[in-house]
A and B are shown apart, each in its own frame.
Chain A
Amino acid sequence: MVLAKEIKARPSLAEMKGRSCYQSKVMRGMGRMGSLDNKRLPYRSDVKLEVERARLITESYKQTDGEPFIMRRAKALAHLLDNKKLYILSDELIVGNICSKPGNILTFPELWWSWLDKAIDKEYAKIIEDDARKELHEIHAYWRNKAVHGMERNLLPDSVKDYWRYDNHGVFQWIHGGHVGVPNYEKALSLGLNGLVEEIKGKLAEISDEQYILTRPQEYLERKRFYDAAMITLEALVRFGKRFAQKAREDAENETSEQRKSELLKIAEICDWIPGNPARTLHEALQAYWFINLMVRVLDLQSSGLGERFDQLFYPFFQRDLDNGILTREEAVDLVGNLFLKMDEEPELKPPATGAGGATLITRVTTVGGQTPAGEDATNEMTYIVMDAKNQTGLIQPAVAVRLHRKSPAKLYDKITESLLKEPGVYSFFNDEMMIPYLMNLGIPLEDARNYSTDGCMRWNIPGKAMAFRALGGQFVLPKCLDYALHQGVDMFNGKKWGVATPDPRTFKSIDDVIDAYLAQVKFFFGKLVTTYNIVDILDQEYLPQPFLSSLLDGCIEKGQDCRIYKYFLNTIFQPIGQITVANSLAAIKKLVFDEKKVTMEELVTALKNNWEGKNDLRQMFINAPKFGNDDDYVDVIARDMQNKATQTFHSFKNIWGGPFMEDGTGGASYFAWSGLTWATPDGRKSADMFNDGTISPALGTDKKGPTAVLNSVGKIDHIGTFTHLFNQKFLPMYLSGEYKQKFIAYFKTWMDLKIHHIQFNIIDRETLLDAQANPDKYSTLVVRQAGLAAYFVDLEKSVQDEIIARTEQTFD
């Protein structure tokens, strides 16, 4: 008689998500300039800063001194992969760790070190052990004058250098973000990295021809170095896989549970095969994806690495497994969920004094839905598997960007409403009906345009292509430019003339005079930002080549050029803030000063100088003036015109590839952090009060005509010259279910008709948020949309929490 063996079921995703390794590491409350909530720790108390990555990278750089930077970069990454400590977490199906221990955070001294060097003795003293602190100080000493971020400061002329610090003048902040490019995962999964190595060897053979070298020595050297460096990194990642196979076998030997032992042996088998060889199953494909992602995104920290169209990429593997009878749909959800949990293991280290209100931000987005390159609906079973996995794991990484178009199936809308009720904060929506013509207008071919994805938080991307833009480049505070225009370039906080000397506002004869002065300030400050930007791009080309990512971007292998040099798309992005605050201000001036002549410029400027003190009635008149978001053409047309005029001004500058600078809406996420240095504005806002949220969301509490009027206003803004726009809406959960559900869906479809780029929702009732504010421990995984990004609500600074609670709740009645 055979006894029935007791088989322990695998833990559910919901059980796994509660484990501390997947929880947010950041617990800050220090976002807004000047406000510091000392009661909150910067990081969870069990989180430690580790030195492993810094040590290994530095060891290698020391050994390669004198070599070309592309080789040094490649060798450093290979050294890291060959020597970093590996672990496999209990029950995990996708392996590949970032730090040497779960819950640790890592650092990138070759990029930056100076603020951290101070912080580990002060604000971050508790998150690092003493011996590690000592070692890190030593490592930092090596990187003095060698780390790339900030290197530009000594190269800039004084007239620009003085503007490097945001808090001097309050208009822009240079932010040295990573470079964006989504690997061609499809190619990597189908050829395997060994296949890429073969391709490169073929190219090397082509150029290793005496005649070629004789006639094109410079090109030869550039290509040879790129190919050598790319191969070093590709081969290193294949070895990294094999190290994991070995690790899984070792763990299996010590494993007592038969089931887990077989899981570990399967992992070993998979990691022996990929990423070197072509993936054959969904499990292999997901594992290979994670290794590549880990390399480009986490260990190199030069690229988001995300932005794939998840359902398009993995559906064929799923379907093949299903046909072969080796996988069920349930198991597929479990595998995808396991991958998502790995993304939540990712740590985040940020300077103590910056950041977005202490939020753990979504930095990973995966895209589903949309159209095929041929224009057919692309929704497939993997679309729903992704949403099921996300709804079960919750947590902040990755966010899911859903592409919608006229032919998106009704089933997808049903799934969206169901998902918004479960995890509203992690979904955002992108409009194919607007995006595809828009991308074509930018010169992107139709098939590539139909293949667009979202990466970062809401930036579009074309997977597999070498895009020029960075994840961040600079935040640009537009209301501060208006502030300078109304005070002849003088900063009202410190009395210094940081702006350009525009005419005395008391002489302004029409709203056009105000606009001219405003645009003159925009141009003045933007020139300084661009100078910085361009210098930094050249430094990045020199010091931070990306041989691994480049080998996965179309065209780089063929041309033998790093993606810092070869570009598919030349444009660069930066992040303007406060557009609607400017539009509302200009509308109020136009109406009260120039149309109705109820107020003089003199009265207005004096009242602004006094921060509206003693002028409550006057201020109220400006508050009552038309506000964007009410489908009122008076102000909406100004908002549209100002958008276009600002865009023209930005486009008059060129980046180092000759492309224009485009406005990226993600900066709107930081409206609360960057509004503190702007004086009183003519929309009735007092000094340091917050701007509007997002780039085209109405200012807080000023949209009084309901959600259709808001959409109509937003729909009037031209998107054509800008990069992305950010738009938030908030609904009560009841409106997504029962008899209202179809109406919500109709609202959604109208958003599409109005050709608005993006929309995201907070679907949480006020009571829940208030309860979460009072009982943070109960709601540690509650994700909210906070401007452009998602964040854990309980991690946010209280004033930001209050603002989210106060933000107009759109109701249907």
Chain B
Amino acid sequence: MPERNKLLINEESKIIESVDGETEPEDVTGLIFAIQRFSIQDGPGIRTTVFLKGCPLRCKWCSNPESQEAGIELMVDAGKCTKCGRCLEVCPAGAIVLEPQLAVDSPRCHLALKCTEACLYGALEPAGKNVTVREVMKEVMRDTAYYRNSGGGITLSGGEPLYQPRFTHALLMAARKAGLHTAIDTSGFAPWHVFKQVLPYTDLLLYDVKHMDSQIHKEATGVDNLLILENLRKLSKKKVKIWLRIPLIPGFNDSEDNLRKTGDLAKEIVAEKVTILPYHEWGRTKYEKLGRSYKWVQAVRPDRQYVQEVKELLQGLNLHVTVGS
């Protein structure tokens, strides 16, 4: 990996949460990196998941590395490059080289992103897009008929949706106004006042619990779990439904002791459902495109048998357990 393909972040494009209070909720802008229709693993029914960009955590196994930074990034896929040279013509910074293969000189690049418009082959693509609530809702509402027939709706995921509280709040309000079932997929790492703000518009929380030991949690994700667990316990007193999600990372959080403790927590907060998300490496190539290195090389993908054992262990605690992918 050439050095100059390093992380590229446009500092200026970072979302600054508007505090003026004058913007119409539908005009509030947020930074997203994807809208995925026909999601069936992010809550009940058929849903559309909006992926918000920016996350306070840095989980080493993260399968969506483009979700982490709170700014637009440039993704470089040298494998798709045909060396047509169209990007060279439009780059105002002269930051692109084609030999020996497509690469972008990160100190020089100012993320004008002209190259992403010029590239025909998907070798240079922006990760992240500023959008208004109105624009997102227009896309989300296209699948209304499926939500109605399936009891589905919208899920805000990330990144960490609560990292853009104003946008998340406005989007949830708009979705609720449109009669949609609403869910947030969260790490739980957010100030309580942010939760309080969005809860009136949220039907379901998909709440990640990664490890019960605060120190280990911090080593692998960059933050401890105190706020996360405190928020969770507070939320359990509210009327919002909670589905606990456990990313199953072999060698990290799959000890019987930790799984039992997580299960006990799920019981304590009366989680409606516990979902095991077995670790996978699908996001690995995206690290390369972002010029980063993949930090979670020790883990192997848990096999079906193993996942089943974990499922049974949790079911033994009298929990409703499902397996996602």
List residues of A whose CB falls within 8 A of some B CB.
616-617, 620-621, 624, 631, 705-709, 712, 735, 739-740, 742-743, 746-747, 749-750, 753-754, 812-813
B139 to A: closest C-beta gap in Å: 9
The chain A residue sitting closest to B150, CB to CB, is A746
Distance (whole angstroms) from the CB of A715 to the closest CB of chain B: 9
- A746, B145: Cα distance in complex, Å: 9
Smallest CB separation, A399 vs chain B (Å) = 26
Smallest Cβ-Cβ distance to A705: which chain B residue: B37
Q: Which of B40-48, B91-99, B219-227 is found at the contact surface with chain A?
A: B40-48
CA distance A764 to B121 in the complex (A): 31
Contact with A along B28-66 (1 / 0, CB 8 A): 000000001111110001100000000000000000000
Chain B residue nearest to A623 in the complex (CB)? B120
User: Would you give 23 A-B contacts (Cβ < 8 Å), ordered by A?
Assistant: A616-B82, A617-B84, A620-B120, A620-B121, A621-B120, A705-B37, A706-B36, A706-B38, A708-B46, A708-B142, A708-B146, A709-B142, A712-B142, A742-B150, A743-B45, A746-B146, A747-B46, A747-B146, A747-B150, A749-B149, A812-B40, A812-B41, A813-B40
Q: Is B298 an interface residue (CB 8 A)?
A: no
CA distance A735 to B150 in the complex (A): 14
Instruction: Please indicate which of the listed interface residues A621, A746, A749, A753 has the most CB atoms of chain B within 10 Å of its own CB.
Output: A746
Q: Which residues of A have CB within 8 Å of B82?
A: 616-617
Instruction: Give chain A residues whose Cβ lies under 8 Å from the Cβ of B37.
Output: 705-706, 708-709
Report the bound CA distance from A754 to B148 in whole Å. Answer: 13
Known: A616-B82, A624-B120, A631-B142. A753 touches B149 (CB 8 A): yes
Nearest to B36 among chain A residues (CB) is A706
Confirm or deny: B152 has a beta carbon within 8 angstroms of a beta carbon on chain A.
yes
B86 at the interface (CB under 8 A from A): yes
Range of interface residues on B (Cβ < 8 Å) = 20 to 34
Q: In chain A, what residue has the closest Cβ to B47?
A: A743
Residues on B lying within 8 angstroms of A by beta carbon are: 36-41, 45-46, 82, 84, 86, 120-121, 142-143, 145-146, 149-152, 322, 325
A449 to B37, CA, bound (A): 36
Instruction: Give bound CA distance, A743 to B37, whole Å.
Output: 13
Point out the residues of chain B lying under 8 angstroms from A621, CB to CB.
120
CA of A561 to CA of B244, assembled, Å: 72
When distances are taken between beta carbons in the complex, the residues of chain A under 8 Å from B150 are 742-743, 746-747, 750
Contact residues in B for A616 (Cβ distance below 8 Å): 82, 84
Cα(A621)–Cα(B82), bound, Å: 14
Q: Is the CB of A813 within 8 A of B120?
A: no
Residue of A nearest to B122 (CB): A624
Apart from A746-B149, A750-B149, list 5 A-B contacts with CB within 8 A: A708-B46, A747-B46, A747-B146, A747-B150, A813-B41
If A631-B142, A746-B152, A747-B146 touch, does A740 touch B40 (CB 8 Å cutoff)? yes
A630 to nearest B CB, angstroms?
10
* B38 contact set on A, CB distance < 8 A: 706-709, 812
User: Which residues of chain B are within 8 angstroms of A705 by Cβ–Cβ distance?
Assistant: 37
User: How far in angstroms is the closest Cβ of chain A from B154?
Assistant: 13
Complex CA gap A617/B150 in Å reads: 43
Residue of B82, B150, B325 most packed against chain A (CB within 10 A):
B150
Chain A residues with CB under 8 Å of B39's CB are 812-813
- Kindly state the separation between the CA atoms of A706 and B47 in the bound complex, as whole angstroms: 12
The answer for the CA separation of A812 and B150 in the assembled complex, in Å, is 13
Complex: A735 Cα to B120 Cα, angstroms: 34
User: Residue of A at shortest CB range from B324?
Assistant: A813
Q: With A754-B145, A812-B40 given, is the CB distance from A746 to B45 under 8 Å? A: yes
